[in-house]
Amino acid sequence: METIYFIKSKLLKNLAKTLSSELSKMGLKGKKVAVKAHMGEYGNLNYVRPPVVGAVVEEIKKAGGKPFVFDSPVAYTGSRDTVEKYKDTARRNGFTEETIGCPIVITNTGVKVKSKFLSKLEIVKELTEADAFVVISHFKGHELTNYGAAIKNLGMGCVTKESKKTMHSETRAKYESSKCIGCGTCAKICPEHAFEIKNGKAVFNEDACFGCGGCVRKCPSKALTCRTVPFSKALAEAASLVLKNFKSDKVLFVNLLLDISKTCDCYPIGDSDPGPKVAPDLGILVSKNIVIIDEASYCLVNMATNNKFGEIFPADIELQTNSARQFGLGGRKYKIIGVQ
């Protein structure tokens, strides 16, 4: 049975105490430690704050490790779509070597790995050269996967920009108009508004589709199928390929259940934004296992919202964790220990 530490109060102090205990078991002296953090689209204030990342870095250094914080550029147009722009965004959001206490690495150099589902997948090179791995993830809603946390942080955030484009394009739905009965289900549930009904048939804007798979699951006439696999399953496979670089005792996950917005940290506040907060602040979880920390995060948030959080988006809630289990990343049994 896996253990999850649940920090509900004195967050930075109790996070440091929990990390001190867990990191001391990882044998980090003299080891290169990669710290994965999403450093926020400029204008969005819901990302993991620098003091949290700084606290993690400080404890790694106390344990003898040599940390660096990293992320890779995004596939969409924004303030993080190139290495140079992301470096500047990270600086403006408070992530510098001076403030965090270690190098900040924005990288798009990849190492090819073989995927069962995708034509191209590259893991960022600097990650493959690290000895240990600490993953800091912000739990929030997500229109393609229902929620985003550690699995998505690895599956999307630890691969190159071209790999992200491949993942989005090759998980899109396929539409067979001859089977369509014009019921409008797809148009009602698509978070990207990729469908509209005209003359009794669905019209599909393939370029707007990002592969959540909600329409495929709900289409009563089977007019929609997956091009490869749903986006959540592709994420889980990518996460499993990332974690193959590390022994299980050299990885630690930190999930923040704070500032839980409707959609991803990738949206700036403006023309498109992360939406309202949809759950109360609950605290911070720490675990050695990616599956159970994401599952526990979702369960805690859903319970705190009387099951309303899970109804926001049509994506299969359990597909991320169930797929990750299929790739050997974790079981189902865990216990939660409160940290006072």
Q: Are 298 and 317 in contact (CB under 8 A)?
A: yes
Domain of 151, CATH number, reads 3.40.50
pLDDT confidence of residue 240: 98
pLDDT for 270 beyond 70: no
Are 193 and 304 part of one and the same domain? no
pLDDT at 66: 98
Which region holds residue 260: left if phi is over 0, alpha if psi is between -120 and 50, else beta? beta
Question: What b/e readout covers 148-173, taking b as 16+ CB neighbours within 10 angstroms?
Answer: bbbbbbbbbbbbbbebbebbbbbbbb
Same domain, 210 and 144: no
291-309 mean pLDDT: 96
Same domain for 28 and 115, yes or no, is yes
Say which residue the tokens 């992200």 belong to.
164
The residue that leads in pLDDT, 266 or 280, is: 280
Residue 326 shares a structural domain with residue 238 = yes
More confident residue, 312 or 303: 303
Backbone angles phi, psi at 55, to 5 degrees: -65, -40
> CATH number, domain at 184?
3.30.70.20
Q: What is the pLDDT of residue 316?
A: 85
**pLDDT number for residue 331:** 85
Tokens of residue 340, six digits? 């006072």
How many other CB atoms are found less than 10 A from the CB of residue 246? 16
Q: What is the mean pLDDT of residues 194-219?
A: 89
pLDDT score of 44: 86
Domain, as residue range, for 216: 172-226
Please give the torsion angle defined by the CA atoms of residues 78, 82, 86 and 89, in that order, rounded to the nearest 10 degrees. -50
The pLDDT confidence band at residue 322, using thresholds 50, 70 and 90, is very high
121 plus 176 within the same structural domain: no
pLDDT at 212 over 80: no
Tokens of 101: 């206490």
pLDDT digits (tens, 9 = 90+) for 240-252: 999 999 999 999 9
pLDDT-derived band at 143 (thresholds 50, 70, 90) equals: confident
Same domain, 201 and 133: no
Pseudo-torsion of CA 161, 239, 285, 296, nearest 10°? 120
Q: What is the mean pLDDT of the chain?
A: 94
Per the structure, the count of domains in the chain is: 2
Percent of the chain with pLDDT over 90: 80
